[in-house]
């Protein structure tokens, strides 16, 4: 669905944010895009939705070139940025203004999400809190039924019950021909939803793996003593012993700890990546 080849991008010449980046993404999955601050996550998602143009290389989304910003393309790709702008109108007017731009927009779905998020329908958008606005936009984004949904820190600003609602909504809405890319630092909020992990580092996607592949190759454990683990890769001291990432010799079925995995990958890059080749 998304096919990126040798993409190079930078805001200034000689100062590239992404360099020779390659990425293939399939529909039907929820991808978690992880990377340090300033690694270029936004640049990548903006290239995918046609807000920024590659310096060189190609980017294709469902066979189209995003930079053309064809209306048909824009109807199929929705970007939910971290900071959002909402005009000073009611939810209903907002729908009347914007929904007709998306032919597949499902109003019932939108109102169902608004109800689930517990948002007062008659309020003006600018009187709402950041979290409420975010929830309106999440509902809108999903109701467009766009084939590619890019979400930047969607759970930022959401209260605890809303995060739960968010997970329920996403779990209920994703379709086989749809793709959601969530770029986030709040991995704990979302790690039960994400089934593919993308890691952006050194101006490239250095890892693109399904969660089951990661836990097949690596074991995530809590131990009292480090010598209980054969071939540990990375560990962090915890209150009772250690959290460890190790090579999964014994074919254990451990649960992926995304934070640990990310830290392990950054500190032991060669060793971790070599498990996947």
Partner 1 sequence: MDFNNTQAIYLQIADYVCDKIQLKVWKEDEKIPSVRELAVMLEVNPNTVMRSYEYLQHQEIIYTKRGMGYFAQANAAKSILKTRQQQFMNEELPLLFKKMQLLSIPVTELQNRYEQFINQKNN
Partner 2 sequence: MQFSIHRIWLLIRKQWAENQQLYILGTLAIAGIMGAIIVFNMSSRLGLETRTQQFILFGGAIATGGVFTSTILSQFNEKVKGIQALTLPASALEKLTVAVIYCMVIFPIVYFVMVYPLIMIGHYIDNNIAHQPNTLYKLEWDDNANDLFVTYFMLQTVALLGSVLFKRYVFIKSLIMVIVVFFGLRIINPIAAKYIIDTDVKTGFDVKVRETVYNEANKPIYKETVKAHYIQPNVDAYPYADMVVHYGGYNKYVKGASYSTSQTKLHHQYNTLFLILLYLGMPFLWIITWLRLKEKEL
Point out which residues bind partner 1 (CB under 8 A).
28-30, 164, 167-168, 171-172, 174, 192-195, 211-212, 215, 220-222, 253-257
As a whole number of angstroms, the distance between CA 234 and CA 264 comes to 5
> Is position 130 an interface residue for partner 2 (rule: CB under 8 A)?
no
As a whole number of angstroms, the distance between CA 253 and CA 231 comes to 16
As a whole number of angstroms, the distance between CA 128 and CA 157 comes to 12
Residues 88-127 that bind partner 2 (CB under 8 A): 88-89, 93, 96-98, 100-102
User: How many Cα atoms occupy the beta-carbon half-sphere of 1 within 13 Å?
Assistant: 22
Q: Which of 87, 120, 161, 172 binds partner 2 (CB under 8 A)?
A: 87
Closest CA to 34 of 188, 245, 182: 182
> Is position 81 an interface residue for partner 2 (rule: CB under 8 A)?
yes
Q: Is 104 helix (H, G, I), strand (E, B) or coil?
A: coil
> Is position 85 an interface residue for partner 2 (rule: CB under 8 A)?
yes
**What does 111 bind: partner 2, partner 1, none (CB cut-off 5 to 8 Å by kind)?**
none
**Residue 257 Cβ vs partner 1, minimum distance, rounded to whole Å:** 7
> Is position 59 an interface residue for partner 2 (rule: CB under 8 A)?
no
Q: What would the x/- binding string for partner 2 be over residues 19 to 38, using CB under 8 A?
A: --------------------
Which conformational region is residue 202 in: left (phi greater than 0), alpha (psi within -120 to 50 degrees), or beta?
Answer: left
Q: What would the x/- binding string for partner 2 be over residues 203 to 242, using CB under 8 A?
A: ----------------------------------------
**What does 49 bind: partner 2, partner 1, none (CB cut-off 5 to 8 Å by kind)?**
partner 2
**Residue 67 Cβ vs partner 2, minimum distance, rounded to whole Å:** 9
**What does 77 bind: partner 2, partner 1, none (CB cut-off 5 to 8 Å by kind)?**
partner 2
Nearest CB to partner 2, comparing residues 93 and 231: 93
Closest CA to 252 of 226, 231, 221, 276: 221
As a whole number of angstroms, the distance between CA 7 and CA 44 comes to 9
- Sign (positive or negative) of CA dihedral 82, 85, 90, 92: negative
**Residue 255 Cβ vs partner 1, minimum distance, rounded to whole Å:** 5
In this structure, how many other beta carbons lie within 10 angstroms of the beta carbon of residue 273? 13
DSSP class of residue 255 equals P
Residue 11 CA to chain centroid, in angstroms? 23
**What does 195 bind: partner 1, partner 2, none (CB cut-off 5 to 8 Å by kind)?**
partner 1
Nearest CB to partner 2, comparing residues 85 and 240: 85
- Which helix (H) or strand (E) covers residue 42, if one does? helix 41-48
Q: Is 21 helix (H, G, I), strand (E, B) or coil?
A: strand
Chain residues in the site for partner 2 (CB under 8 A) = 46, 49-53, 69-72, 74-75, 77-79, 81, 83-85, 87-89, 93, 96-98, 100-102
């Amino acid at each position: 669905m998304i096919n990126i080849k040798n993409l190079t991008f930078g805001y200034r010449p000689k100062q590239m944010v992404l360099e020779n980046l390659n990425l293939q993404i399939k529909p039907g999955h929820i991808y978690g895009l992880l990377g340090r601050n300033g690694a270029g996550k936004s640049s990548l998602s903006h290239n995918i939705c046609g807000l920024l143009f590659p310096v060189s290389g190609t980017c294709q989304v469902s066979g189209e070139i995003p930079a053309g910003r064809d209306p048909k393309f824009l109807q199929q790709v929705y970007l939910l940025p971290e900071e959002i702008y909402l005009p000073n109108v009611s939810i209903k007017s907002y729908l009347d203004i914007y929904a007709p731009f998306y032919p597949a927009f499902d109003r019932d779905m939108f109102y169902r999400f608004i109800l689930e998020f517990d948002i007062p329908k008659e309020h003006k958008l600018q009187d709402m809190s950041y979290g409420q606005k975010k929830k309106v936009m999440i509902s809108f984004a999903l109701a467009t039924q766009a084939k590619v949904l890019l979400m930047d820190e969607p759970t930022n600003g959401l209260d605890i019950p809303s995060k739960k609602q968010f997970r329920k909504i996403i779990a209920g809405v994703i379709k086989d021909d749809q793709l959601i890319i969530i770029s986030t630092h709040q991995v704990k909020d979302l790690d039960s939803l994400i089934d593919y992990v993308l890691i952006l580092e050194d101006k490239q996607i250095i890892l693109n793996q399904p969660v089951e592949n990661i836990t097949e190759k690596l074991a995530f454990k809590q131990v009292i003593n480090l010598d209980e683990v054969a071939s540990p890769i990375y560990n962090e001291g915890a209150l009772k012993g250690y959290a460890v990432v190790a090579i999964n010799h014994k074919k254990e079925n451990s649960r992926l700890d995304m934070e640990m995995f990310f830290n392990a990958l950054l500190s032991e890059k060669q060793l971790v990546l070599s498990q996947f080749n």
